[in-house]
Amino acid sequence: MKTEIEVKFVNIIHDDIRQNLLNIGANCIVPMRDMKRAAINSPEMRAKKGFVRVRDQGDKVTITYKQIEALSLTGAKEIELEVDDFDNAVAIFKAVGLSDCSLQESRRETWMVGDVEVALDEWPWLNPYIEIEGPDEDIVKQIASKLSLDWNDAVFGDVMTAYRIQYPHLREDQMISDLAEVSFGLPLPDMLKQVK
State yes or no: pLDDT of 196 exceeds 80: no
CATH topology of domain 2-186: Hypothetical Protein Pfu-838710-001 (2.40.320)
Task: Give pLDDT tens digits for 39-49.
Answer: 998 888 888 88
Q: What is the pLDDT of residue 99?
A: 78
What span, in angstroms and rounded, lies between the C-alpha atoms of 40 and 12? 28
Q: What angle do CA 4, 8, 10 make, to 5 degrees?
A: 165
Q: What angle do CA 140, 143, 144 make, to 5 degrees?
A: 85
What span, in angstroms and rounded, lies between the C-alpha atoms of 161 and 165? 6
Exposed/middle/buried for residue 194 (C-beta within 10 Å: 0-12, 13-18, 19+): exposed
State yes or no: pLDDT of 109 exceeds 80: yes
Instruction: Please report, for the chain, the start and end positions of each structural domain, with discontinuous segments joined by +.
Output: 2-186
Q: Are 141 and 105 a contacting pair, CB within 8 Å?
A: no
Task: Give pLDDT tens digits for 63-96.
Answer: 999 999 998 999 999 999 999 999 999 999 999 9
Dihedral sign for Cα atoms in the order 146, 137, 57, 189: negative
What span, in angstroms and rounded, lies between the C-alpha atoms of 52 and 177? 11
The torsion of the CA quartet 64, 110, 5, 38, rounded to 10 degrees, works out to -20
Q: What is the pLDDT of residue 108?
A: 97
Task: Give pLDDT tens digits for 149-164.
Answer: 999 999 999 999 999 9
How much is the average pLDDT of 15-44?
Answer: 96
Query: Please, what is the average pLDDT of the chain?
Result: 95
Residue 17 has phi, psi (to 5 degrees) of: -65, -40
